[in-house]
Amino acid sequence: MFESTKRPLPGHSLFNAMPVAFAAMLLIGCRPATDPPEPVSFEPADLVLTNGKIYTVDASMPWAEAVAIRDGRIAAAGDAEDAPGWTDAETRVVDLGGKLVLPAFGDAHIHPTLGGLTFSQCSMHRGENVEEYLQIIASCNAESPGTGVLYGRGWAPGLFPPDGVPRKELLDAISTDRPLVFSSTGGHSLWVNSKALELAGIARDTPDPPNGRIDRDPATGEPIGGLQEAAKDLMMAHVPPPTVEAMEHALAYTADHLNRLGVTQWLDAGVGVVPVPKRQILEAYKAVRDHGKLNVHVALSLKWENELGLEQLPGLLETAELARAMGFKADSIKLYIDGVIAQRTAAMLEPYSDSPGEKGELQIPPDVFYQAVTELDKLGFQAYVHAIGDRATRTALDAFAAAREKNGTTDNRHMIAHLNVISPADLPRFGELDVIANFQPLWATMNPYIEMTAVRVGPERMAYHYPSKSMLDAGAMLAYGADWPVASANPLEGIEVALTRKNPGAGGGEPLLPHEGVTLEEAIQAYTINAAYASHLEVETGSITPGKSADLIVLDQDIFAIPVHEISDTRVLLTLFRGAAVHDELPAF
């Protein structure tokens, strides 16, 4: 079983642990210490969950057996024997029968609008090989006939060796009459057919745009159907943007999908990744919330446009103020400083092992990047940096150091996402500079993409691939996020992989650097309180602590007691957001 904490619980009784204003509501009155003691009276809870195994992620009381909820907030946590004292005839009491309870999960890196749109368009995510991709595309083409652009998303570069670039001929076999345009899982590449190239005016003599590449046949120079990074814009200008209504549907879909997975807090990692005005995305967010379908704590990171410079700052500040006026946190700016390893667009300190002439490029000029980070830091914004190559990571850390030198220490909680390859010399700098390491644990397996990565970077740099444990040992904070729809949004799958470094399930294959696995407690923390901390929301959510929002989940099995490869099979039976059920499969509830 587990060690129970008996009363008194310092800081965790219904009376003592409440915020002052709330506790005052509970008191009948106060007497001087010299007066005879009187019974403390308080309002009973609306809901009590009891007879559970509750892992609170609160260091002052890690485990409990019962939790009381009133007015959408956690009122008390303690032993099952305490529960009757929290109730009256109106209190709903639910016997959990020993089931495991956790704080609801957070996601510190997700693309909610893009993900929802992806699964309402032609989604290739369920395909496991190129043949299945082509079957999906053919079905989408048949189900939506016409001559307009057919757009979708979800192909994995690792399934197109040796360069991660699919060819136009595969799509031409499906249609030469309409443009077919498909984004990779990570969104850094497009796969298009000949008709799409014709529509965009991309031909043999079309120059590569800055920070972009048109993939070409080495013998003829003709475009072969792959567009990398900024070259995607040549094509996306001809893809009709989504309507506000479509984005509202996408956000509602995402919120429901994540609630079912136990997620009630997210950081939107780039408002503007969907190529529409940021204001329209904010309007979609507000509409979904106002209709009661946005059952999550939301924080927004506004996308920095790499083709612009510092002149975009006033517009970003204006958009952030608009978001705040709508009631959303918007204290973060997302900067994409490099690309991805598979297509050799990630910025590396040394050349790629399989292409000695290439190191990748920084997609924001260093002088502009340093100035931007320093100014954002001065203005109180979190700089949230996409960095995959080791040079990109070092550049981001250098910028944070320069900002600290200029502005002093702040609580802006700068963060670097992905961190596929990190130079060992840079590991301690995360702790020294208070930079959050934002990992996507499901990426840390020996899958086809990582196998391609191993060819690109060679064995020496592969020894520092997603170094989660080393990062913790060096004093960094880990905050997990799925980068959905790039990978599954299921935190329980991510937790398993964070421990095993293998693909989910009993047959997960060979692990990727198994010594870099973390503990179960560390993984849960990265998905709960640390994810909340990354959005300045740790006072509101992320742990089962009296006074916080009642955001918690009940699981169908105890992930502390089962074999580690069964964690990914665990289901969320109940998700509470602010004390209300937003997902319910729990028979007792």
The side-by-side arrangement of strands in the sheet containing 189-192 is: 122-123, 150-155, 180-184, 189-192, 223-229, 212-216
Would you call 557 exposed, middle or buried from its count of C-beta atoms within 10 A (0-12, 13-18, 19+)? middle
Is the pLDDT reported for residue 467 higher than 80?
A: yes
Is the pLDDT reported for residue 119 higher than 90?
A: no
Cβ–Cβ < 8 Å for 162, 191: no
What token pair was written down for 542? 């992320």
Look at residue 154 in the predicted model and tell me its pLDDT.
87
* Interacting residues of 127 by C-beta distance below 8 A, sequence separation 6+: 133, 135, 136, 154, 155
Is the pLDDT reported for residue 11 higher than 60?
A: no
What token pair was written down for 217? 């046949």
184 alpha carbon, distance to own chain's centre: 18
pLDDT in tens, 335-364: 999 999 988 999 999 999 999 999 999 999
Residue 82, strand partner residues: none
pLDDT in tens, 378-392: 999 999 999 999 999
Cβ–Cβ < 8 Å for 189, 341: no
Average pLDDT of the chain, as a whole number: 91
Report the share of the chain in percent with pLDDT over 70: 93
DSSP-assigned letters across all residues of 537-575:
-TTTSSS--TTSB--EEEESS-TTTS-GGGGGG--EEEE
Look at residue 164 in the predicted model and tell me its pLDDT.
87
Q: Mean pLDDT over residues 32-55, rounded?
A: 71
Look at residue 396 in the predicted model and tell me its pLDDT.
98
pTM over 0.85: yes
The tokens 């550049």 sit on which residue?
395
**What is the number of other CB atoms lying within 10 angstroms of the CB of residue 127?**
18
- In the DSSP assignment, the letter for residue 432 is H
Look at residue 9 in the predicted model and tell me its pLDDT.
31
pLDDT in tens, 511-521: 999 999 999 99
Report the share of the chain in percent with pLDDT over 90: 84
Host H or E run for residue 245? helix 244-260
pLDDT in tens, 56-105: 999 999 999 999 999 999 999 999 999 999 999 999 999 999 999 999 99
